[in-house]
Amino acid sequence: MPLETREFDPTRYLTSDTAIEEYLAATFEDGTSAEIADALGVVARARGMTDLAKDTGLSRQALYKALSKEANPEFATILKVIEALGYRLSVVRAGHDKAA
């Protein structure tokens, strides 16, 4: 009997603000721009793309397109999404933790 598998869906595990924050922090720490856009898309789907579209003023279709692995969204779009999700960007020098 063949083993049944299904595609991994990270939105199933992003059920709390803490989980989302850790997921985004890990991606921003060492992810590529495409991985960061995709991670924001995953969080947007977990939180609700319709609400995010209202909060950003962008259409759902534009968000799906901008927040995919193949996308190269404008920085302004990324900032709108981050803000609408309730987060903000901060800069820390490489190799320096906030706790240090």
- Read off the pLDDT of residues 20-75 as tens digits, 9 standing for 90 and up: 999 999 999 999 989 999 999 999 999 999 999 999 999 999 999 999 888 889 99
Q: Residue 59 has what pLDDT?
A: 95
Contacts of residue 83, Cβ cutoff 8 Å, sequence gap at least 6: none
User: For residue 16, what are its two tokens?
Assistant: 């709390």
What does the alpha-carbon distance between residue 65 and residue 70 come to, in Å, rounded to a whole number? Answer: 8
User: Hey, what's the torsion of the CAs at 78, 51, 13, 91, to 10 degrees?
Assistant: 30
DSSP H stretches of helix in the chain: 17-30, 33-47, 49-56, 60-66, 75-84
Model-level pTM? 0.83
Judge whether 67 and 44 are in contact, CB under 8 Å.
yes
